[in-house]
Amino acid sequence: MKIAKNINNIAKKVLQNEADAVKNLINFIDEDFEVCVREIYNSQGRVVITGIGKSAIIANKIVATLNSTGTPSLFMHAADAIHGDLGMIQENDIVICISKSGNTPEIKVLIPLLKRTGSKLVALVSNVDSYLAQQSDFVLNATIAEEACPNNLAPTTSTTAHMALGDALAVCLLELRDFSSEDFAKFHPGGSLGKQLYLKVDDIYPNNELPIVYENTSLKEVIIVISSKRLGAAAVVNDENHLLGIVTDGDLRRCMQKDMDLGMLTAGEIMSKGPKTVSKGDFAVKALNIMQQNSISQVIVLHKDKVVGFVHIHDLLKEGII
């Protein structure tokens, strides 16, 4: 009969182990780390990251993070390197070799070959006394107390530490490059993330009709405008097209619930003053944030203090921002 295990306690122990290991990495951020970051920043070449087994998987992740944040990088599998892939390394490249022990046979074979290329060699290791660490120009210390695996064998905490240190490296380089959200958008044009970073209000609002009324527009005409334009609201403007207020479906419902002569009402009497607005050059995600923060379905678009359009929550859904 199997002994009952407390799954929650096991999971918490694993997470605590890994959290402690990552927190302890703070103590290993030293001058070697800083010099290594600056060497990569000033390099005319690329970053080539290599490893084997689980380290190869972590290497791929770090390469992806570096590429997406402005540092050109390549992955080279340590086993494939000695069968032709060494040809991808150029003289000005910097090679980062990831290994927990730093003493695996494949790594020991690879290191002399890497040094012949003339490239700088960086060791990202959990054993700073290893062959890899001793042969490298820079050492990124990812020492851990033990793996989260109860047998202290399966790469768990060590791979988490390596990935966290890779993130620290990438963000340091990002900061040195003054890498902005606009730069980020260039490398992430797809999906909702990309659209949040590059899609602007003026990419959206021209697709909508413009529901505008004036202060003296009758309630009946206001209802017709709101219904025909299908945006759930109409902007109230003056003769110069400057914004005075907004009439929404909600305003109409509240108005009809009151004991009032509806036939005599005008837009100016039922409008809400100070409606939420965005400028045509704003990012669409700003319009989304305003809608979410104020629990509304549309915002008015202004250009030079004049009403030029609307952005509706459905537009953002259609664009895939939400």
Tell me how far apart the alpha carbons of residues 51 and 57 are, in angstroms, rounded to a whole number.
Answer: 8
Encoding tokens for residue 111?
A: 């290191």
Tell me how far apart the alpha carbons of residues 83 and 66 are, in angstroms, rounded to a whole number.
Answer: 26
Q: Which residues pair with 97 in a beta bridge?
A: 50, 123
CB-CB contact of 308 with 280 (8 Å): yes
CA 68 to chain centre: 10
How many Cβ atoms are within 10 Å of 289's Cβ, its own excluded? 12
77 carries a ligand binding annotation: yes
Place of tokens 């380290």: 55
- If phi > 0 it is left, if psi is from -120 to 50 it is alpha, else beta; for residue 215 that is alpha
By the 10 Å C-beta count (0-12 exposed, 13-18 middle, 19+ buried), 304 is classed as: exposed
Residues belonging to the binding site are 77
Instruction: Give the residue numbers of the binding site for Zn(2+).
Output: 77
